[in-house]
A = this chain, B = another copy of it.
């Protein structure tokens, strides 16, 4: 990738790490610069303040999210749909991922106050809705769901439910897996009432879930935050990959 693109990526990954550490509300440009070997002035050269940086960061997250939700396993449309729901409502064990999910909720809460945030967040919604509706449509074409099923309405319901799961997990630590499996076992079945293949008959894709079967307990209620709300868990692992430390394209402004 180009030098410019490289530097941009370094700042995006630094923003991810800084968010995990500081949350959104208290985060400063200095905190982000501190996650790189660049100066705060260098950051200000690239971004016109925190709002500008976060518009870029949301677009970067959206790119990862769009790839993630389109990355289907092999199988029938219903298999893909259930896997998609499990992918966007994947409980995370890693502390920094939990911190990121919490920070992402802060960003959503700031959206009404910040220029341009809502527009990008709407793209997350639109893409996820389209992906769900397309899979429902494919399931109808494949004879898995009754042809009376309304793809757009199912997608809208599932989307709202997914948002509720994210919010309850982040705000009060409600258990993601319980809510997610309710969605898959009960709601999805009902939304496509005449499914010839009940969605709940699809095996979970995670071994741990297969073992627990339908008997999802509440034991990890306080740990059940969600992964991949924005789809870039693990970004910190390759934060500096491909970056050679050349600061030549930056100008100190202060």
A interface residues with partner B (beta carbon < 8 Å)? 23-25, 102, 105-106, 108-113, 118, 121-122, 125, 153, 156-157, 159-168, 170-174, 179, 182, 186-187, 190-191, 193
Q: Are A122 and B182 in contact (CB under 8 A)?
A: no
Q: Are B110 and A186 in contact (CB under 8 A)?
A: no
Q: Are A25 and B108 in contact (CB under 8 A)?
A: no
Interface residue from B24, B153, B170 paired with A186 (Cβ < 8 Å): B153
Expressed in whole angstroms, the Cα–Cα distance for A156 and B180 within the complex equals: 12
Q: Are B172 and A125 in contact (CB under 8 A)?
A: yes
Q: Are B160 and A165 in contact (CB under 8 A)?
A: yes
Expressed in whole angstroms, the Cα–Cα distance for A162 and B110 within the complex equals: 20
Q: Are B173 and A160 in contact (CB under 8 A)?
A: no
Contacts of A172 in B (CB 8 A): 111, 118, 121-122, 125
Q: Are A170 and B121 in contact (CB under 8 A)?
A: no
Expressed in whole angstroms, the Cα–Cα distance for A162 and B112 within the complex equals: 19
Contacts of A165 in B (CB 8 A): 160, 164
Q: Are B157 and A121 in contact (CB under 8 A)?
A: no
Instruction: Give 6 CB contacts A-B under 8 Å.
Output: A106-B110, A109-B170, A111-B172, A118-B171, A121-B172, A186-B191
Instruction: Tell whether A111 pairs with B171 under 8 Å between CB atoms, given A153-B182, A157-B186.
Output: yes
Q: How distant is A199 from chain B, measured CB to nearest CB, in Å?
A: 14
Q: How distant is A51 from chain B, measured CB to nearest CB, in Å?
A: 13
Contacts of A168 in B (CB 8 A): 125, 159-160, 163
Q: How distant is A230 from chain B, measured CB to nearest CB, in Å?
A: 13
Contacts of A102 in B (CB 8 A): 109, 112-113
Q: How distant is A112 from chain B, measured CB to nearest CB, in Å?
A: 5
Expressed in whole angstroms, the Cα–Cα distance for A111 and B24 within the complex equals: 13
Q: Are B153 and A110 in contact (CB under 8 A)?
A: no
Contacts of A160 in B (CB 8 A): 161, 164-165, 168, 179, 182
Q: Are A112 and B170 in contact (CB under 8 A)?
A: yes
